[in-house]
Amino acid sequence: GEDVEQSLFLSVREGDSSVINCTYTDSSSTYLYWYKQEPGAGLQLLTYIFSNMDMKQDQRLTVLLNKKDKHLSLRIADTQTGDSAIYFCAESRDSNYQLIWGAGTKLIIKP
């Protein structure tokens, strides 16, 4: 299986919170990342977290890291239609910071 796993789809109502989950297998991961890809576009870095941190918050985004369980989540508060996208989780392990990617979670917003 993949080293980084994500659910393929998440459907939420506009205005609710979205929580996108990711699990990884390598305990030597140093940094973990969330990227957003809008339709027909490249990937955009949303945020990243160092592995010795538990949480990072940036406006509507909250990243939670449970290193013991190797679980990373991205919470989007007050989800808007503009948040519709594919969200990729990624980890870096080595000194070159090369990234290992999840398959992406497609966030669907219901009116």
The 86-105 site mask, x for binding other proteins (CB under 8 A), equals x-x-x-x--xxxxx-xxxx-
Of 18, 20, 22, 35, the residue at the interface with other proteins (CB under 8 A) is 35
Whole-number Å distance between alpha carbons of 26 and 99? 12
Q: How far is CA 12 from CA 2, 5, 23, 49, 95, in A?
A: 26, 20, 21, 25, 37
Of 9, 14, 50, 54, the residue at the interface with other proteins (CB under 8 A) is 50
Interface stretch with other proteins, choices 17-25, 26-34, 52-60, 65-73 (CB under 8 A): 26-34
**Residue 95 contacts residue 84 (beta carbons within 8 Å):** no
Of 1, 42, 82, 111, the residue at the interface with other proteins (CB under 8 A) is 42
Whole-number Å distance between alpha carbons of 29 and 41? 27
Nearest to 107 by CA among 36, 14, 10, 5: 10
Which positions touch other proteins (CB under 8 A)? Answer: 30-31, 33, 35, 39-45, 48, 50, 86, 88, 90, 92, 95-99, 101-104, 106
